[in-house]
A and B are shown apart, each in its own frame.
Chain A
Amino acid sequence: MSRKDPSGTPIGDRFAIRLQNLRTEGKVKGDRPLLRIDNRGEAATAPYQYDIVRAKLHRSGCGAIPRASRSALLARWEISPEESNLGCEECRPGPIERGAMRRNLASDLLYGMVSVLDQFGNVLKERGREYRESEEGQQLTSDLEGLYANLDKRQRELLDVALSSLDSLLELVQDYDRSLHSANGNGTNRRNGNRRNGDRRTRG
């Protein structure tokens, strides 16, 4: 493995294995997802279904979808003009107005960041403490203190505002997340964020 392999690195492999071991060792919240590939829930609510076997595009629920094709349907959230010639003659799927679809990329990213901090918080804190006490950590602390000391008054004020805003924003999102969890029961992974899976687009 000393040869450089662009399809991945031994460090990446070790990281991936270590991540799994953290759950086995009970150091992270294993009941919470790390990565959810399964989007069957969202796929079931998509407006269109493409029958891969017959090369036909249907509206969801169309009665002309053959039973034998049910295990080979591909959910679609929009259709392009060049795909309209694949449309089923019975349900005649037409394009949905794109403007009606919600796009929540920024909030999805923020939720993703918060969920990682939440799930791996203990590991991060432990590593942070260890790092702070290490030689490199001590050096970083003194560098940061030096950097802060050298900022003029206005620059310090700007940095303080930015840091406290980020803090407040994270608290706000966590509060909102908690209130949604209690309102929806166990809402595990309902907002893990791929906007293209249509979870949000079709509810707009």
Chain B
Amino acid sequence: MERKRLFWRPDDRLLGRIDQLIGQHRRTAVETLEPLVRSYYPALIHAPRNEYRKMMELSAKMTVVGHSCSEVAGYPFDPRRQRIASLFGGCCFLADSFIDDFGREATREYLERFELLLTKGWFEIKNDREKLFYVIVSRLFSQRDVLDPVLRQAILRLYEAQRDDVELRSADGKARHLTRRHRLQLLRECARNRSGHAILVLSGFLLPELPLRYLSLIYVAGELIMHIDDHGDCYSDLYYDRATYMNQVKDPVGTLRRVFNASVARLQAGLPEGSGRDLLMGFLFRYYRTRMEKHQLQRNSREAAWTVYE
């Protein structure tokens, strides 16, 4: 059924290449992040809920995405870029945890302190998790001119998307009085921006420049990643009272398929033919497939919520 309806699917050779790259980039993530974790937040290695392994998987995934963006723009994905992408994955994992895992008060405080970091450069380090986060951020910032206009705007847009997402989720937030249609529209925009701007930040750290038309296409890929991710996390998000576009629409499977088809069609038509485009589209297909499986597994078992998925 899925095979018939998807606009595009990769051949076995491309899927094999992606499998091999995920393994390779998982090793890069461990080589880059593990020494930092051991130095600044060793408790993470044995933290409950497989946090450490989840961090490495997110980082490996970001590194594959970074790999495809680099090749799309015609730059080699050399060891330096691999390390940058791994650092970015670690940074995203920790930032997401500050927002999602420590309660509403901690979320609000994190957003205020992160805004101070972006507006003044100051960040009060209160514990080892924050120390690790700050070290990763400072290493990332030293890798490229962080005052590059595109990069700094993407960072601010990502911050605003996170802030809006928290606001939308909040039971007493602005979304409470909206019509269902308007709320769905805002949730969709929010999902689009959360991952769309994140992938622009990643490409900003990796590449000296990217033509405007490619920025839009990379952003499309980011939006799709978010919807796929949210579909995979559907049951745990509902359990923790987190509303997302994907867990609020009436037909999530059909919606995701339509978004996948439209996004991949745009990427195929707009990105330059080559290994970067193939890798990006192949990765998106693979991610779609594995998160559909994750969705099924989580529906059948609450225990599956803390399983580490590739």
Contact = CB atoms under 8 A, between A and B. Distances in A.
Contacts of A16: 134-135, 138
B124 interface: yes
A10 B212 contact: no
Contacts of B271: none
A197 B147 contact: yes
A192 to B, nearest CB: 9
B306 interface: no
Interface string A136-170: 00000000000000000000000000000000000
B139 A13 contact: yes
A39 B219 contact: no
Given A38-B152, A75-B149, A7 B185 contact: no
A72 B197 contact: yes
Nearest to A194: B147
Main secondary structure of the interface of B (DSSP, over half): helix
Given A7-B32, A57-B212, A33 B119 contact: yes
Nearest to B152: A37
B59 to A, nearest CB: 13
A1 B124 contact: no
B32 A71 contact: no
Nearest to A24: B124
A71 B193 contact: yes
Interface stretch (A47-55, A126-134, A178-186): A47-55
A37 B135 contact: no
Contacts of B156: 37-40
B189 A71 contact: yes
Interface of B: 32, 35-36, 38-40, 79-80, 83-84, 87, 118-125, 131, 134-135, 138-139, 141-143, 146-150, 152-157, 160-161, 164, 185, 189, 192-193, 196-197, 200, 211-213, 215-217, 219
Given A39-B152, A198-B149, 11 more contacts: A1-B38, A6-B83, A12-B139, A13-B135, A13-B138, A20-B125, A24-B125, A33-B119, A52-B200, A55-B216, A71-B189
